[in-house]
Amino acid sequence: MRIVPAVDIRGGLCVNLVQGDYCQETVFSEDPVEQARAWWDALGQCLSSEEYQDAVIHIVDLDGAKTGVCCVLPQLIALAHHGICFELGGGLRSLDTLEAVFKAGASRAILGTAAYRDPELLREACRRWPGRIVAGIDARGGCVSLNGWLENTGEEAVDFARTVEKAGAARIIYTDILSDGMLNGPNYDTTADVARNVSIPVTISGGVSSLDDIRNSRALAPLGVDEIIIGRALYVGHFTVSQAVAALKEGS
């Protein structure tokens, strides 16, 4: 299992939202690129060279998620310039945008709203960029939410997970909205349900608050959960990147 630090960008700033609420925003850095570099360097100091090759920073374009237009291409180009491997989600709703994001240096692109609204786009994207398209499933109460978590669909996340796997998605990032930014621990049960119903890897996201949360996440590894995204807990200093990595490796 890998630690994946998150950098959420809104209005050119590195921020964090509570339960996806744009009115509950905390600004943690005025320079998202420098923040990503800090997390990337921290990973480099505590991972083996082999582990570092698989490392990634999770970038979210919050403005893009809300408007449907990618707003962070300059930051992506800067990240690639600094040698940072990253994935991007938010506002990726056309093949042209995906092309631009990959040209800017993204290792993986996350389709959320577009994956739900436009299944043909998802299938074609998976065909053009095999192994690089991730389905982002953001759920409230176990049901898929869209458009920056502003719209609830009523479709069960598990059912949608099966759909995106059939379309060719290489990975699923499952985010529990009610846990996100709350520092009350992830939703292990629903993440496990999603992982049990697909054969592709799953990333757990939302609510990590302590090293115990990270240790508990290791129990999901046999189900195919191999990454854990961490945001607010790192920013507020509950633990460091190196401590998070060490917690994952305990007993291994």
Which amino acids are annotated catalytic? 8, 138
DSSP for 105-152, written as a single string: T-SEEEESHHHHH-HHHHHHHHHHSTT-EEEEEEEETTEEEETTTTEE
User: Residue 182: how many CB atoms within 10 A of its CB?
Assistant: 15
Q: What Å distances lie between residue 94 and 29, 81, 90, 114, 152, CA to CA?
A: 30, 24, 12, 8, 22
- Cα–Cα distance for residue pair 201/170, rounded to 1 Å: 7
